[in-house]
Amino acid sequence: MNGQMGSWHGQRGAPGSDQGQGQGFDGWVPDDVRGKLTRDAPLSRLVWFKSGGAADWLFEPADLDDLTGFLAQLDEGTPVMALGLGSNLIVRDGGVPGVVVRLGKPFATVEVRRDSVLECGGGASGILVSSTARDAGIAGLAFLRGIPGTVGGFVRMNGGAYDREVADVLVDCDVVLPGGELVTLPAADLGYSYRHSRLPEGAIVVAARFKGEPGDPAEIGAEMDRIAAAREESQPLRSKTGGSTFKNPPGDKAWRLVDAAGCRGLKVGGAQVSEKHANFLINTGDATSADIETLGEEVRRRVAESQGVTLEWEIQRVGRW
């Protein structure tokens, strides 16, 4: 998961799209920041698909105070989107209006607390969280090794892998609201369901606490190795991809439905349904984001027509056509 996909407020996309087809952003953006603020910042280098347009503004805050102060000064209604590792995300070719907030190293910390609890920054990767848990002898968090994203993203989306999900281990999380207010929300308030939460619109997850249980580091490490090997064997990890494309319907697997619809290997422009795993789309080299999204919609159409199931996107799609 992406990075922190879908942290957005402002204009919505058209029916059938996901988010944000605004025609641009002319609002005022404060420049008295200690972090890095870039205008017309290319996003293709920051997302796994390596495609898409630029952000009107990209803000990489120096720390939490820098972030809250910046957001507090933004005009009300300014579109804001948080970006983590850029997995599970299609940035459309017209770019992203407003401000994209990227949580970098200052938000990538993981610390061990009492009672098998890890305190994690919103920019920390699943690999870092699970590795820290292993080294501290905390079991129950190894599955995070299999989620390609950051804490902010998989807290928002209730990320999961290998029969576990964030809802099983989250204690609470700190989020910054669009106006700059910092609040702590217990897991029970997030309304978790499959790959979904009720986090407030535009909220940016800046920290979270996960609780495991005492365990043997060697056993935890072996479980992580099994997860890594399973992903390597079954998924096109060495391709330009966005992770799992569609949510699994109740009682079924998205890849099976895609395969049954004859879509394995299907191409649109430079985009292709992976031959290795049918629920992954890949950029074969020169795909535009329009190629990738169009291919996904064609897969959905064929699955609905032949299998009678309407697949839901798991990958978030943001920005202007």
Query: How many C-alpha atoms does 104 have within 13 Å on its Cβ side?
Result: 12
Pairing of strands 138-139, 240-244: unpaired
Q: For residue 87, which amino acid is it?
A: S
Rounded Cα distance between 13 and 175, Å, is 24
Rounded Cα distance between 105 and 86, Å, is 15
Q: List the 36-42 sheet strands across, edge first.
A: 36-42, 54-60, 96-102, 80-83
Backbone angles phi, psi at 229, to 5 degrees: -65, -40
Per the annotation, the verdict on 223 as an active-site residue is no
Per DSSP, which regions of 9-53 are E strands? 36-42
How many C-beta neighbours within 10 Å does residue 119 have? 16
How many C-beta neighbours within 10 Å does residue 234 have? 12
Active-site option among 156, 195, 264, 302 = 195
Rounded Cα distance between 127 and 1, Å, is 12
Residue 38 token pair: 């870039």
How many C-beta neighbours within 10 Å does residue 50 have? 16
Give the H or E element holding residue 163: none
Active-site option among 60, 165, 293, 314 = 314
Rounded Cα distance between 107 and 299, Å, is 37
Per the annotation, the verdict on 297 as an active-site residue is no
Active-site option among 44, 87, 131, 244 = 244
Q: Angle formed by the axes of helices 217-234 and 126-135, to 10°?
A: 150
Per the annotation, the verdict on 314 as an active-site residue is yes
Name, in order, each residue with C-beta under 8 angstroms of 52's C-beta and a sequence gap of 6 or more.
Answer: 43, 44, 90, 91, 92, 93, 95, 289, 319
- Mind telling me the catalytic residues? 195, 244, 314
